[in-house]
Amino acid sequence: MTNVKVNSVAKTYGTTPVLSDITTEFPEGSFTSLLGPSGSGKTTLLRIIAGFIKPDQGVITIGNNDVTGIPVWGRNIGMMFQSYALFPHMTIAQNVAFGLERRGIKGAAARKEVDRALEMVHLPGFADRMPKQLSGGQQQRVALARAMVIKPSVLLLDEPLSALDRRLRQEMQVELLRIQRESGLTTIFVTHDQEEALTLSDKVAILDKGRIVQIGEPETVYERPLTRFAAEFLGDSNFLTGTVENGAVRLADGTMVRTTGTLPSGGSNVTLAVRPEKMSIASGPTDGNSLTARITTVIYAGPVLSYLLETADGLPLKLFAQNRDGKVLSDGDTISLTWAAEHTVPVAD
Amino acid sequence: MKTLGPIYLIAILIFLYTPILVMMAMGFNASPLYELPFHFSLQWYDALWDNSILLTAGLNSLVIAGITAVLATALGTMASVALSRRTFRGRSLLQLMLLPPIAIPWLITGTAMLIFFYWTGIGRGMHALLIGHVALAIPYVVLVVGTGFKTIRADLEEAAMSLGSTPVHAFFSVTLPLLYPSILGAALFAFAVSLDQFVISYFLATPGYTTLPVQIYSSIRKGFTPEINAISTVLLLGSMTIILIFARFAKPGDTSDKR
């Protein structure tokens, strides 16, 4: 159980920079998600930490050891792959024992460890089956047992749940979280599923074009996105642009919007992000920010109603509301919407 | 259409196997001129047993085919590993250049080899036959093993490495066992390519060292006796047995357990 440090790591393929100067730390026992679109470099970063890829520059430390020059097989990592990657010609027990054998643990001692690992993932009695006799979810559990049984110093997960269907995925998320909490293992998790990232992690790192745009607790990253990309990639966002005037922002139509965030100096242009669920339909005058907009579409999604709106200027907006009274407003209605200054976040473009 | 399918298949099998069956049957017919009515006799097998020239040639063929299978499979598998798992300069070109030798007429390849071996002083004989056959069989091995590689995901080796395997250990403990049916199939292919080979063998054999197809050809030119049928039958049953054993145990084409 150790922390992982990445110090000014960069990787270029040909002339395409995949990672540019990444410096970050994964504290001991933390569960960090690397979140980003494909091509953002999240998988490359994970594979550099694992030791599959050699960075062009920079240093990786696991615990207090510089492992930059150590290949993957010398790093004592536990890894889970998207495709489960169980060895098809070995039984479940042989699969789980593979890493033990490489560490010189054999026979009864290995058997005991294997049984304990299979029990941990709720698959006792599966030892003598072959991987293809197991369902996808069960195979993924075996992969987890195989990665954990070697007592790795860090657990690296490369989109391990993306091949499972929704229900199984949620089940595995709970399982993964339980096992990670019990073991206290530093875990780095690559995903493109933002909900998964928010549910599982202590920390979320958002990557874009080879850089970490923002890293922090899920709540911080979600509530206070630093950039337009972060606000857009993690959840939905409305964006309002205007100029700074007297500590507030004047939109193109003259509306003044207040924010508790730090604004640049007067006269400069600024973009504000507001989450759709932070906006509500005003029934009377409010002391918060407010705008008038016309409903273009109401989307009925069960517990939530999504309103697609448009202001008089043609600015598209989104509003999510709890479904308390059903669909009372319809397309074409003009509404007044309101939101608080503290939910108005200035973001960099 | 439904009834036409089986009829078509049966017709193919009849055209394929009838000549072979007739050939085998005539090996057991007493008449040296393939005359009917059929009189069962083992005399040609007796004669074959005493025909040391044919037997030696047959043995030569098996030895050459065996060594070719081992060498071509080892070299071809190594090439296939490189082509499937490594990236290096000129890989695509190499991969592409493997295919033409399969399509080039053997007569041309044989002539080229004869001239080349003559120039370089390699000459003719067993060693020349081996070099020729191995060179000829390697593209087949690379193709067959390469197809096997495509069914094995690269992340299996990565998983092994993450658990502490060196790349060499990962290859021998994970990839090779999964590749085993393909390698066996490739070896069989190489064996068959060598055993079958006439044109190139004809150019590279010496009067003192020939292979069975070459020897059969020269025997036929002198005159035809059912001894040829007898040795052909022995050879045929031998190779069919190998193929059936292989098909039973290696189950080529069964890739269901290789994710």
Best residue in B162, B171, B179 to probe A by mutation, most A CBs within 10 Å?
B162
Directed axis angle between helix B43-50 and helix B227-250, to 10°? 90
Contact of A348 with A262, CB cutoff 8 Å? no
B31 touches chain A (CB under 8 A): no
Q: How far apart are CA A5 and CA A188, in angstroms?
A: 12
Predicted local distance difference test score (pLDDT) of residue A218: 92
3-state secondary structure B60-103: HHHHHHHHHHHHHHHHHHHHHHHHHHCCCCCHHHHHHHCCHHHH
Q: How far apart are CA A76 and CA A79, in angstroms?
A: 10
Q: What is the DSSP letter of B38?
A: P
Cβ contact, residue pair A102, B169, below 8 Å: yes
B58: closest CA of chain A, how far (Å): 39
Predicted local distance difference test score (pLDDT) of residue B249: 64
Decide: helix, strand or coil at residue A102: helix
Predicted local distance difference test score (pLDDT) of residue A38: 86
Convert the pLDDT of each residue in A85-110 to its tens digit. 999 999 999 999 999 999 998 888 88
B256 touches chain A (CB under 8 A): yes
Residues of chain B neighbouring A136 (CB-CB closer than 8 A): none
B71: closest CA of chain A, how far (Å): 27
Domains and CATH numbers, chain A: 4-229 (3.40.50.300), 236-347 (2.40.50.140)
Directed axis angle between helix A92-102 and helix A136-148, to 10°? 20
Q: 């976040």: which residue's tokens? A: A345
Q: How far apart are CA B170 and CA B147, in angstroms?
A: 20
Decide: helix, strand or coil at residue A174: helix
Q: pLDDT band at residue A57, thresholds of 50, 70 and 90?
A: very high
State which residue of chain B sits closest to A139, comparing Cα positions. Answer: B259
Does position A25 have pLDDT exceeding 60, yes or no?
yes
Residues of chain A neighbouring B169 (CB-CB closer than 8 A): 102
Q: 């055209």: which residue's tokens? A: B15
Q: Which amino acid is at A89?
A: H
Residues of chain A neighbouring B256 (CB-CB closer than 8 A): 132
Of A83, A147, A150, the CB nearest to B259: A83
A–B CB contacts, 8 A cutoff, strictly below: 73
A79: closest CA of chain B, how far (Å): 6
Q: How far apart are CA A123 and CA A141, in angstroms?
A: 8
Convert the pLDDT of each residue in A237-256 to its tens digit. 999 999 998 888 988 888 88
Convert the pLDDT of each residue in A158-211 to its tens digit. 988 887 888 888 888 888 888 898 888 999 999 888 888 888 899 999 999 899
Q: What is the DSSP letter of B208?
A: T
A179: closest CA of chain B, how far (Å): 19
Residues of chain B neighbouring A76 (CB-CB closer than 8 A): 164
B91: closest CA of chain A, how far (Å): 17
The number of C-alpha atoms within 13 Å of A270 and in the hemisphere containing its C-beta is 27
Of A84, A102, A156, the CB nearest to B163: A102
Q: Is A78 exposed, middle or buried (0-12, 13-18, 19+ CB in 10 A)?
A: buried
Contact of A309 with A318, CB cutoff 8 Å? yes
Residue B43 contacts by C-beta under 8 Å, 6 or more apart in sequence?
Answer: B30
**Assigned token pair, A94:** 């042989």
User: A146: closest CA among B13, B127, B145, B160?
Assistant: B160
Q: Write down the domain spans for chain B.
A: 1-41, 51-250
Cβ contact, residue pair A87, B158, below 8 Å: no
B168 touches chain A (CB under 8 A): no
Cβ contact, residue pair B162, A147, below 8 Å: yes
**Residue positions counted in chain A:** 349
B153 touches chain A (CB under 8 A): yes
B55 touches chain A (CB under 8 A): no
B174 touches chain A (CB under 8 A): yes
Residues of chain B neighbouring A81 (CB-CB closer than 8 A): 155, 158-159
Residues of chain B neighbouring A98 (CB-CB closer than 8 A): 160, 163, 165, 173
**Assigned token pair, B51:** 């025909």
The torsion of the CA quartet A265, A266, A267, A272, rounded to 10 degrees, works out to 70
Predicted local distance difference test score (pLDDT) of residue B250: 59
For chain B of 259 residues, list the mean pLDDT of each consecutive stretch of 10.
82 88 82 76 80 83 91 93 83 84 86 89 84 91 89 88 92 90 87 86 85 84 79 82 72 45
Strand-strand pairing, A289-301 and A304-311: antiparallel
Does position A1 have pLDDT exceeding 70, yes or no?
no
Cβ contact, residue pair A81, B174, below 8 Å: no
User: A273: closest CA among A196, A199, A221?
Assistant: A221
Strand-strand pairing, A31-35 and A187-191: parallel
Mean pLDDT along residues A57-77: 91
> Which CATH code is given to the segment(s) B51-250?
1.10.3720.10
Decide: helix, strand or coil at residue B180: helix
Cβ contact, residue pair B160, A89, below 8 Å: no
**Assigned token pair, A20:** 């540019």
Best residue in A73, A144, A149 to probe B by mutation, most B CBs within 10 Å?
A73
Q: What is the mean pLDDT of chain A?
A: 89
Predicted local distance difference test score (pLDDT) of residue B251: 55
Of A72, A130, A143, the CB nearest to B161: A72
Cβ contact, residue pair A73, B162, below 8 Å: yes
